[in-house]
Amino acid sequence: MRNGNSARMPRTLLGIESSCDDTAAAVVRGRSVLSSVVAGQGGLHAAYGGVVPEIAARAHAETLDDVVRRALAEAGCGLADLDGVAVTAGPGLIGGVLAGVMTAKAIAAGTGLPLVGVNHLAGHALTPRLTDDLGYPYLMLLVSGGHCQFLVVHGPDAFDRLGGTIDDAPGEAFDKVARLLGLPQPGGPSVEAAARGGDPARFAFPRPLLDRPGCDLSFSGLKTAVLRERDRLVAAQRGLWRQDRADLCAGFQIAVRDVLAEKARRAIAIYLGSRPSAPALAVAGGVAANGPLRAALFSVADAAGLAFCAPPLALCTDNAAMIAYAGGELMALGRRDALDLAARPRWPLDTGAAPMLGHGRRGAKA
């Protein structure tokens, strides 16, 4: 599954990412991650129940210089050792994206290094090439707190979107369910942990959109179904027992797993129609850490004869190494941006596909 164009990749790139609530910088040489610094903002938004765009933007602006300095120091590089600067230019919370783009432009203007703006989703989607050298075209499932879509990845700027969420992203749903049940944030790991002692069959949660053809997904009804069961239990017994929480979490998690697995089956059928030479399914995004989901996706891929690729979690969640790597692939195709590079709140990867509806607290989903 080797793809032999690495010889044309620019050698060493600085990547910058600031589209949500992580300020990140990384240095990547070819397929080697020399450094990857991620500074989270968790504490700053904790009191508000979600990422507050203005607070995020200010924190990015204050932190970026230091994060870039740390990434260069950890890589043992100076600016003179770089061959280019890649920066997330969208989609995302616009104030944060702007802070990153301004920083990248300042470095490019001061050093004369070439600059390239990278789509954040392309960064996620190209990660399996950085980590596993996957050959094009491969099928990709992005599942995080902000994204959920199936993509066929043909090249660093060539994507077919087969479907995506029409409302919440799955991570957002995990976070909301955790909040409903008084479990700590981020919700994914705490719901998964609580679900371990639970009975997934006790509550009959819906499997949204399975009755409709295609690969689109919906998670907001599922979250509301959990809320309804919680309220019913609280009204009936004046509170929730530990077992109730475990059963609610297990039922919710299995519903998310079932929906994603069935939609993955459908996406695989469409993808195989194009007769890829080395078929593969890759996942990225924080929700890809979920054990039952990973196991289900592995089985679905395996049954259809696809290789399964799940990059290490640190490169699945938001980071700048994926941006540096994607920038390298784009530069290898001759892409450069001028100093008037714009920050874009929305930037669909597949401009031929219908726009998605979802636009949650963590920013645009396409």
Which residues make up each annotated binding site?
120, 124, 142-146, 175, 188, 192, 290, 318
Q: Rule CB under 6 A: which of 2-21 touch ligand KG4?
A: 20
327 contacts ligand KG4 (rule: CB under 6 A): no
Cα angle 106, 112, 118 (rounded to 5 degrees) comes to 60
- Among Zn ion, ligand KG4, none, what binds residue 251 when CB lies within 5 to 8 Å by partner kind? none
Beta-carbon neighbour count of residue 1 at 10 Å?
16
The answer to whether residues 233 and 203 touch, using CB atoms and an 8 Å cutoff, is no
Q: Hey, is 196 helix, strand or coil?
A: coil
# residues contacting ligand KG4 (CB under 6 A) = 20
Q: Rule CB under 6 A: which of 107-166 touch ligand KG4?
A: 144-146
Site string for Zn ion, 273-312 (x = CB under 5 A): ----------------------------------------
Contacts of 192 (CB under 8 A, 6+ apart): 249, 253, 290, 291, 292
* Side chain identity at residue 271, one-letter code: Y
Taking the least distance from each CB to ligand KG4, the nearer of 29 and 365 is 365
Q: Counting Cβ atoms within 10 Å, is residue 2 exposed (0-12), middle (13-18) or buried (19+)?
A: exposed
Distance between CA atoms of residues 254 and 267, nearest Å: 20
Q: Counting Cβ atoms within 10 Å, is residue 272 exposed (0-12), middle (13-18) or buried (19+)?
A: middle
Site string for Zn ion, 27-66 (x = CB under 5 A): ----------------------------------------
**β-strand pairing of 280-284 with 307-309:** parallel
Taking CB positions, which residue lies at the least distance from ligand KG4? 188
Instruction: Of 9, 103, 7, 29, give the one whose Cα is nearest residue 331.
Output: 9
Taking the least distance from each CB to ligand KG4, the nearer of 90 and 285 is 285
Selected binder of Zn ion within 192, 247, 318, 329 (CB under 5 A)? 318
Q: Rule CB under 6 A: which of 271-300 touch ligand KG4?
A: 285-287, 289-290
171 contacts ligand KG4 (rule: CB under 6 A): yes
217 contacts ligand KG4 (rule: CB under 6 A): no
Interacting residue ranges for Zn ion, rule: CB under 5 A: 318
Interacting residue ranges for ligand KG4, rule: CB under 6 A: 20, 144-146, 171, 174-175, 186-189, 192, 285-287, 289-290, 317-318, 362
